[in-house]
Structures are given as structure tokens and as C-alpha cells.
Amino acid sequence: MGPVTPTVGVVVLTQGTRQGDLARGIRSLLDQQDVRLDIVCVGNGWQPTGLPAGVKSLGLPTNLGIPAGRNRGVSSVAGEFLFFLDDDASIPDPRFLSEAIAMLRADPTIGLLQPRVVDPSGLTSPRRWIPRIRKGEATHSSNVFSVWEGAVLLPRGVFDATGGWAEPFFYAHEGIELAWRVWDLGLRTWYAGDLVANHPVIQQTRHDDYYRLNARNRVWLARRNLPAPLVPVYAGAWLGIQLLRWSRNRPALRAWFGGFREGWTSDPGERRPLKAGTVWRMTLAGRPPIV
């Protein structure tokens, strides 16, 4: 008897504004080999239509934000694994999922996998897509402590144990929290430089609330996940980083400080602080959660 074909629940999230990209991404999923997929296309604020046969549609009446939209999709799919794909991302290799799952099965200490991200038109990929402080070569695989959320694979049991994507965040930094919570399960988050997802190079600042939500969610990330003594250390470190980074961009700093204040005065949702042992493991692995 041969090996059991992996089953994957796939959540594709879209606001319906990139129909060509969405169709490309779904085709790349349907081309995947040696896996059985259960795919849902979640429309954040709209009802997806015109989908290929076998792809389910889940329309949300309002835009609940990226993390909540992904979480709603999880309840609509079955599978041993979960794969999240943004509507402007695609998978160029039809064996991507089977090879990524083989990695997870070969090393059960890996709880979450993010592939290398490449612009399909050949533009130079931004360094932010490599989720490491010391970026190095994009093809180099390693442990990481945050993820680019546009193409993420993990066992469903791991996802459920983390509590899912951070719904209050709406947008920004939900990939850091998910990675931290995977580490808190005694597992590792892995950047697979030898596997590829495609995504166009787009300016992050295209979102109107980019600076505010980045600042607010940095504080919320700390308040939700860090042991109490580390909360002001982490938030203070990022305050200093942004003062240096945007010292000549006063409008950006004003927006960022507004979000920073909001992070302290508003409710971040459920608090699940990392265990002391997790902080130590992350430190030994090269990234203590203080920056």
C-alpha cells in the first residue's frame, strides 16, 4: 500500500479587486499534484463568483480584516494541513504543496512553513520578504520568528492550538503572532528558501492606515503575547526604531505615534503570554522577543 495522499484545506482571501490575480492563484492551486485540496475563496465584503468547479465561495457581508477573513475560511475546509494564499499570490511549481508537506512530515519539529517569495515579472524582491533580521541570501532556509502571510502552510492541529490568526489586528503583524505561538507550542517556524511562491512587488504604504496599524499592532502584539516585563521593552525598542527610520517623514511619524497611543489605550483581545521556556528557546535560536 502506497503513501496516503495529503489532504489540504486551502483558504484564499480576496476583496474582489484583483480578479486576474485571483484567477491565476486559484489555477496554480488546481495544478498542484499529489495532494487532495479542499479550497474556499473567502470574499471580505463581497460574494466571490465565477470560480472554477470544486472551489467553494464564502462571502462575508463586511470586510472583517485579513486575519478574521482567513479564520472564517478555515471553518469551511477540511484537511490534515491548512494553506493560506492571498489573492495576489500564486504557486509556480505544481509540486510545491506535496514537497512542502514532505518537509513537515520529515521534521515534525517544524510547525509552520513560509516559502521564499519571488516577483513573477523578475523585479528584485524586497528584503522584507525574508523574515530575518540578518537577511542573508533569500535561498537560505532557517528558523524564523515572523512570516510573510501571503503563502503559509501548517498542520491543522498546530493552527488550532495557536488560536488562529489575531482577529483584532485587522491588518499587519498577525504573522508575527502566529509564528510566536507556533514556537510556544514547542515547535519551530521555518523559512523554506528552496520553495517558491510568486507575488508582485507592491508598496506596503499603499494602505491608508499602514503607519497607524503597524504601530498599534506592535503594542498589541506585545500586550497579547509577551511576559509582562518584556512588554515595555519590546514596544520601546520599536519606538526607537521608528524614530530613526522615519525621522525625516513627519506625516508618517504622526500617524505612527497615533497608532502607538491607540495600542496602549484600546483592547487588544485575548492575552496568551509566551512561556519563559519559549522566550529562552527563541533567544537560543537567535531572536529574543525584544525587538
Q: What is the pLDDT of residue 291?
A: 87
Q: Give the Cα-Cα-Cα angle 106, 131, 119 (nearest 5 degrees).
A: 95
Mean pLDDT of the 45-71 span: 96
What integer pLDDT is reported at residue 13 of this predicted model? Answer: 97
Go through the chain and tell me how many residues it has. 291
Predicted TM-score (pTM) of the model is: 0.95
Q: What distance in Å separates the CA atoms of residue 276 and residue 120, rounded to the nearest whole number? A: 41
- State the Cα–Cα distance between residues 94 and 65, nearest whole angstrom: 30
| One-letter amino acid for residue 209 of the chain | D
Q: 260, 239 in Cβ contact below 8 A?
A: yes
- The answer, yes or no, to whether residue 161 has pLDDT greater than 90, is yes
Beta strands 36-44 and 110-118: pairing type?
A: unpaired
Quote the radius of gyration of the chain (alpha carbons, Å). 19
DSSP string, 14-41: E-SS-HHHHHHHHHHHHT--S-EEEEEE
Half-sphere exposure (CA, 13 Å, Cβ side) for 130?
17
- Tens of pLDDT, residues 16-39: 988 999 999 999 999 999 999 999
Average pLDDT over residues 5-25: 95
| Residues near 139 by beta carbon (within 8 Å), at least 6 away in sequence | 116, 193, 194
Q: What is the mean pLDDT of the chain?
A: 95
Q: Which three cell numbers stand for residue 190?
A: 521555518
DSSP bridge pairs for 84: 11, 152
Banded model confidence at residue 205, pLDDT cuts 50, 70, 90: low
pLDDT of residue 72: 98
How is domain 7-202 classified at the architecture level of CATH? Alpha-Beta Complex (3.90)
CB 100 within 8 A of CB 93: no
Please report, for residues 9, 116, 231, the alpha-carbon distance to residue 204 in angstroms, rounded to integers and kept in the order given. 28, 18, 26
Angle (deg, nearest 10), helices 276-284 and 174-184: 100
Q: How far apart are CA 65 and CA 74, in angstroms?
A: 15
Kindly report the backbone phi and psi dihedral angles of residue 21, in degrees, each rounded to the nearest multiple of 5, phi listed first. -65, -40
pLDDT, average across residues 134-147: 96
Instruction: Please provide the distance, in angstroms rounded to a whole number, between the alpha carbons at the two ends of the chain.
Output: 49
Local confidence band at 207 (pLDDT 50, 70, 90 cut-offs): low
8 and 81 in contact (C-beta within 8 Å)? Answer: yes
For residue 41, the cross-strand partners are: 12, 57
Beta-bridged to residue 190, according to DSSP, are 113, 143
